[in-house]
Amino acid sequence: MKRRKRQDIKETNKKFFDSWSKTYDKFLFRKLMWKWQEEAIKEIPKNCSRILEIAPGTGRALEILSKQRPNAKLCGTDISQGMIKIAKERLQGKAKLYCEDAENMHYENESFDAIFCTEAFHHFPNQRKAIREMSRVLKKEGALVIVDINIPPLTISNFLFKLEPGFVKMLSAKEMRDLLKKEGLH
């Protein structure tokens, strides 16, 4: 596969998810993916009061969190304006939502007690930079929860690349642990 430029991948992701935003929650595999979101939410410690979701899509997980933790300050950042629009309609002001990419967020250093990201990490063109940015905005003793697909065979990767043109790379559990360790997160 010819190496694609990072900015081209970001633009592909923006266009793809903007066009998919209106029907995203009806996608065949959403119910399975929702279970992953619910498991990720369970991993966020109860004492966390400032929580960021990276790539919240249509805002379903933030909606669940807003009901479970009505006093928490919730934020979401997504590269797709279409997804942000749907999430804002769903959340009705229960979370602050921003259209920006995970590699360059506007938040102050150490802004969040917890950050979570489900089913999106494989779309980030510079995964190391995304982790570095998450580390920057996460408090020193904060919780980072990343849930992503992890199916190693090349044929699955080829299928996902056709299904989601902004697909970059799935990391194995070991690759993810190594990346987190390199960036000072364990």
CATH of the domain at 167: 3.40.50.150
Which two three-digit tokens encode residue 156? 């699955």
Mean pLDDT of the chain: 83
Range in 35-39, 104-108, 178-182 with the lowest mean pLDDT: 35-39
CA atoms within 13 A on the CB side of 139: 12
Which residues is 52 bridged to in the sheet? 75, 115
pTM greater than the 0.85 cutoff? no
Range in 99-103, 157-161, 179-183 with the lowest mean pLDDT: 157-161
As a whole number of angstroms, the distance between CA 155 and CA 52 comes to 33
Q: Please give the C-alpha separations between residue 3 and each of 9, 14, 65, in angstroms, as whole numbers.
A: 10, 19, 38
Q: Is residue 186 part of a domain?
A: no
As a whole number of angstroms, the distance between CA 50 and CA 160 comes to 33
pLDDT, position 38: 84
What count of residues does the chain have?
Answer: 186
Which two three-digit tokens encode residue 181? 């360790």
Spatial CB neighbours of 71, under 8 Å, sequence gap ≥ 6: 49
Is the pLDDT assigned to residue 2 strictly greater than 60?
Answer: no
Range in 70-84, 88-102, 171-185 with the lowest mean pLDDT: 171-185
pLDDT digits (tens, 9 = 90+) for 32-74: 566 778 888 999 999 999 999 999 999 999 999 999 999 999 9
**Contact yes or no for 117/55 (Cβ under 8 A):** yes
* DSSP, residue by residue, 126-165: SHHHHHHHHHHHEEEEEEEEEE------HHHHHHHHHHST
As a whole number of angstroms, the distance between CA 98 and CA 6 comes to 21
Spatial CB neighbours of 60, under 8 Å, sequence gap ≥ 6: 25, 34, 37, 90
Query: Kind and range of the H or E element at 173?
Result: helix 173-182
10 Å CB burial of residue 109 (0-12, 13-18, 19+) is exposed
Q: What's the domain range around 14?
A: 6-181
Domain count for the chain: 1
Q: Is residue 1 part of a domain?
A: no
Q: Is residue 174 part of a domain?
A: yes
